[in-house]
Amino acid sequence: MVKYNNKFSELEKQIIAYTQGDLPLEPRPFKPLADQLGISETEVITRIKNLKAGDYIRRFGGVLRHQKVGYQSNALVAWEATTANADQAGEIMAGCQQVSHCYLRETPEEFCYNLFTMIHACSETDLQNIIEKLARASGLSRYTVIRTRHEYKKTSMVYY
């Protein structure tokens, strides 16, 4: 766990820490935290809403294991983008439902690929079709497909 010193109060840090983990599957998932902190559930929820409104919490949502729900073909695709077309291509790719991650990165000079997408599909055929669709839509014709062979770790960062 990474510890950060910043402007959050100790109470906010405890709320953030709680929401980073698995929430209990029950009608009142914030009640255990409220009881632990000695505040009302309403106060916990209000503070979470404030953190969300301040853009400190990006989103709340369930996380599925994509392989277990049928997305068996997954690949990191590295694209060669120029300074002139990287932003537009990145926006096009980020708008694709099957793209879970899209990053423009600094890379070593000898490695020409600088725009990276993680694409999830149900089959190899679907994966190839998505890649071809993105290539056409973005105008990027140079790319390399790096398939997932084994997942060693996949977690979210824990800050508190």
CATH code for position 138:
3.30.70.3460
Is the residue at 86 inside a domain?
Answer: yes
Side chain identity at residue 102, one-letter code = C
66-114: per-residue pLDDT in tens? 666 666 789 999 999 999 999 999 999 999 999 999 999 999 989 999 9
Dist. CA 33–CA 17, nearest whole Å: 10
Residue 61 lies in a domain: no
**What is the reported pLDDT for 56?**
84
Q: How far apart are CA 134 and CA 127, in angstroms?
A: 11
Contact (CB, 8 A) for 47 and 17: no
Domain of 30 in residue numbering reads as 10-53
For the chain, the average pLDDT equals 88
Specify if 38 maps to a domain: yes
Residue 7 has pLDDT above 70, yes or no: yes
Same domain for 49 and 97: no
Q: Do 49 and 77 belong to one domain?
A: no
Please check whether residues 48 and 108 belong to one and the same domain: no
Assigned domain for 156 exists:
no
Least confident of 33-37, 55-59, 72-76: 55-59
Let me know if residue 158 belongs to a domain.
Answer: no
Residue 22 lies in a domain: yes
pLDDT reported for residue 118? 95
**103 near 116, Cβ under 8 Å?**
yes
The verdict on 36 and 84 lying in the same domain is: no
| Residue 66 φ/ψ, nearest 5 degrees | -60, -35
Tally of domains in the chain: 2
Distance CA 29, CA 31 (A): 6
pLDDT (0 to 100) of residue 1: 42
Residues 49 and 104 in one domain: no
Q: Helix, strand, coil: what percent of the chain each, to 5? A: 35, 15, 50
pTM for this entry:
0.66
Contacts of 29 (CB under 8 A, 6+ apart): 23
- For the chain, what is the radius of gyration of the CA atoms? 20
pLDDT given for residue 59 in this prediction: 76
For residue range 140-155, what is the model confidence (pLDDT) as tens digits? 999 999 987 888 877 6
pLDDT score recorded for residue 62: 67
CA 50 to CA 37: how far, in whole Å? 18
